[in-house]
């Protein structure tokens, strides 16, 4: 099968109709994520991000459905109750951007039009843009404050650190667009930081991930150990679906493409994040290679406190940027 953006969009529509036929409680379905961009492929791989809205509560909030080794469906299940106040969703840092630019796949009783219209009304007003950014920044600072300084860096603690970095970076990203995609996290952040007038934060983000410590060759050597951990973790029950088995090719092919491209160090975010998710469900003896990689990146031991200080400074700049924008816009 020749895989194109149009082909995958058609598959999304067909999937939505099949789900609607099987589930009379399905209220709506919409397409979001990379297929809403001009080039969803990275390393000839991508996913189909869909959201299904149900009349009642849902038992599972997400599922991964494999299509080919390069493509899978990433389906989120939300209850209708989360959409009852569309005007409030326009300041939600994740649902708001998703709904603003999403494509309806299935709709009943004009539900989707009503919700999307409510989100889009005033979406680009400075007060709403800054509200979305501030929610990210506040969450990032709260996580950072709870981490404290220590030489101990297990998977759980590093995941909290990465979550804070994620929200901090997205506080800048949502000023001029949607939240950052996982695989293109660093690539997209460079553009958003420049658009927000803080291009220096690109180097700051790189420093938080430790890439000043390694080169492309070292990162390439990490891949076999990353894959081994990913495969082992994906075989476990109740694993984080970011590292579900059908997503192996999705990551691996994109990593290879980034390492062979002009910005090889942009592989750091998805590599470190998914490897840490994998390590979090593995026994200590199976974490040894992950630990060694973290030490070489400066994400473990005494060096981690330097990363924490760097995140503090990064957040200071983010907060100052938002304050300056608020003052200039009279918000």
- Going by their DSSP bridges, the two strands 103-107 and 46-54 should be labelled as unpaired
Number of Cβ within 10 Å of residue 290's Cβ equals 23
Check if CATH label 3.30.460.10 holds for domain 5-120.
yes
- Which of 139, 138, 157 is closest to 148 using CA atoms? 157
- Which of 141, 125, 179, 165 is closest to 330 using CA atoms? 125
Q: How far apart are CA 55 and CA 74, in angstroms?
A: 20
Tell me which DSSP letter residue 284 carries.
Answer: G
Whether the CA torsion 13, 14, 16, 17 is positive or negative: it is positive
- Which of 311, 94, 53 is closest to 181 using CA atoms? 94
Q: How far apart are CA 141 and CA 164, in angstroms?
A: 7
Compute the C-alpha angle 224/169/38, nearest 5°: 75
Could you tell me the two tokens for 298? Answer: 């400066």
Instruction: Return the beta strands (E) in the chain as ranges.
Output: 26-32, 46-54, 62-66, 71-79, 103-107
For residue 11, what pLDDT is reported?
Answer: 97
As a whole number of Å, the CA-based R_g of the chain is 20
Tell me which DSSP letter residue 179 carries.
Answer: P
Q: Would you give per-residue pLDDT tens digits along the chain (331 residues)?
A: 578 999 999 999 999 999 999 999 999 999 999 999 999 999 999 999 999 999 999 999 999 999 999 999 999 999 999 999 999 999 999 999 999 999 999 999 899 999 999 999 999 999 999 999 999 999 999 999 999 876 667 999 999 999 999 999 999 999 999 999 999 999 999 999 999 999 999 999 999 998 676 889 999 999 999 999 999 999 998 899 999 999 999 999 999 999 999 999 999 999 999 999 999 999 988 899 999 999 999 999 889 999 999 999 999 999 999 999 999 998 8
Q: Are 187 and 180 a contacting pair, CB within 8 Å? A: no
Where residue 150 falls (left for φ over 0; alpha for ψ -120 to 50; beta otherwise) is beta
0.85 exceeded by pTM: yes
Query: What are the domain boundaries of the chain?
Result: 5-120, 126-319
């Amino acid at each position: 099968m020749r895989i194109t953006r149009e082909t995958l969009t058609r598959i999304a529509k067909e999937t939505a109709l099949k789900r609607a036929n099987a589930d009379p409680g399905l209220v709506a379905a919409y397409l979001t994520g990379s297929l809403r961009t001009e080039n969803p492929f990275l390393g000839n791989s991508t996913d189909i991000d869909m959201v299904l809205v149900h009349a009642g509560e849902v038992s599972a909030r997400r599922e991964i459905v494999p299509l080919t080794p390069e493509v899978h469906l990433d389906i989120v299940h939300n209850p209708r109750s989360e959409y009852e106040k569309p005007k409030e969703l326009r300041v939600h840092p994740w649902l708001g951007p998703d709904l603003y630019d999403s494509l309806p796949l299935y709709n009943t009783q004009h539900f989707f039009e009503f919700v999307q219209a409510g989100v889009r009304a005033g979406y680009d007003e400075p007060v709403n843009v800054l509200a979305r950014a501030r929610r990210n920044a506040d969450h990032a600072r709260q996580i950072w404050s709870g981490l404290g300084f220590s030489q101990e860096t297990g998977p759980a603690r590093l995941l909290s650190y990465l979550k804070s970095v994620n929200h901090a970076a997205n506080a800048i990203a949502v000023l001029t667009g949607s939240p950052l995609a996982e695989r293109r996290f660093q690539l997209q952040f460079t553009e958003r930081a420049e658009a927000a007038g803080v291009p220096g934060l690109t180097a700051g983000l790189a420093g938080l991930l430790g890439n000043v410590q390694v080169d492309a060759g070292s990162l390439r050597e990490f891949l076999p150990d990353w894959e081994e951990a990913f495969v082992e973790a994906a075989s476990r029950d109740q694993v984080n679906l970011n590292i579900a088995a059908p997503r192996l090719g999705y990551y691996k092919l994109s990593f290879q493409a980034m390492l062979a491209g002009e910005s090889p160090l942009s592989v750091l975010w998805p590599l470190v994040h998914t490897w840490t998710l994998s390590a979090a469900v593995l026994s200590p003896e199976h974490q040894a290679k992950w630990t060694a990689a973290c030490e070489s990146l400066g994400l473990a031991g005494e060096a981690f406190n330097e990363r924490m200080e760097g995140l503090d400074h990064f957040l200071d700049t983010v907060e100052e940027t938002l304050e300056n924008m608020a003052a200039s816009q009279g918000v």
